[in-house]
Structure formats: structure tokens, C-alpha cells
Amino acid sequence: MPYGSRPETGEEPLRPRFTRLALRIPVEITTLPGGGLTCTGHTLNVSSSGALIELEPGAGVPAGEVAFVLRLKSRPVVAPDVYCHGRVVRQEQRDALDAIAVTIDSHRPLTATGGQHPAV
């Protein structure tokens, strides 16, 4: 079922508030506080307010407050990785894989951190 469809109510599908870009970006996610769960995946789409992230199989599904790093250095144009802070707002199954929708409440470019989340 496509994102935003609402067949149970017969209402018009929900429309995203921000433009979403279909980008596949590697991502590392850590639950906060304290980094209890760390997992990896990739974005399915990104907007200025959030992202839909498909998790690697068996990664576990984070909930609540999270920190995540968008690994842009692996993209064709080299750019700094981006550290984001937000929260998980939705979980869903996509072709037997877990996906999460996360908000981007704050973000900043990363300098060399040795691959660690700055918050952990």
C-alpha cells in the first residue's frame, strides 16, 4: 500500500508536508540516551523534516529518541557526513524488511570523529 493512502476512511491520501527526495544513503542509527541499540540501513527518501530508513535484516528496530548519521561520503559527490537527532515516529514492514520513519529535529555536518556518533 503506498505511503499516505487511507482506504479505511475513504478520505484523500495524506500529502507529505515537505518535498521528499528518493535517495539511497547509508545510515547508522543509535538509540538515545546512551546508545542502547545501534543498527545500520539506508534511506528510501529524505526531506528537510525527516527520513524513511530501511533497516538491515536482523538489525533490531529502534524506537523513541535516536541519533543517526547520513554517510554522504559514499555518494558520487564527496560531502561531509551529516549527524542528525530526531525520533522514530512510525515503523512498517516493506518486503519483509523493517523500515522506520524518523524526524530530523536538528542536524549538523560532521568533521572527523573516527566513525563514532558524537552523542555516544
Query: Which pLDDT band holds residue 9 (cuts at 50, 70, 90)?
Result: low
Number of domains in the chain: 1
Q: Is residue 63 part of a domain?
A: yes
Domain presence at residue 67: yes
Q: Does a structural domain hold residue 76? A: yes
pLDDT of residue 70: 92
Taking only Cα atoms into account, the Rg of the chain, rounded to an integer number of angstroms, comes to: 15
Range of the domain at 100: 26-109
Q: Are 31 and 37 in contact (CB under 8 A)?
A: yes
In a domain, 16, yes or no: no
- Does residue 2 carry a pLDDT above 50? no
4 belongs to a structural domain? no
Mean pLDDT of the chain: 80
Give the Cα separation of 24 and 53 in Å (integer): 9
Question: Which band of pLDDT confidence, cut at 50, 70 and 90, is reported for residue 1?
Answer: very low
The pLDDT of 26-36, averaged and rounded, is 88
- Looking at the chain, the whole-number percentage of residues with pLDDT higher than 90 is 43
Q: What is the pLDDT of residues 45-54, one digit of tens each?
A: 999 999 999 9
In a domain, 89, yes or no: yes
Taking only the tens place, the pLDDT of each residue in 52-81 is 999 988 777 888 999 999 998 755 666 789
Residue ranges of alpha helices (H) inside 1-120 are none
User: Which CATH number does the domain housing residue 36 bear?
Assistant: 2.40.10.220
Mean pLDDT of 80-97: 90
Residue 3 is assigned to a structural domain of this protein:
no
In a domain, 20, yes or no: no
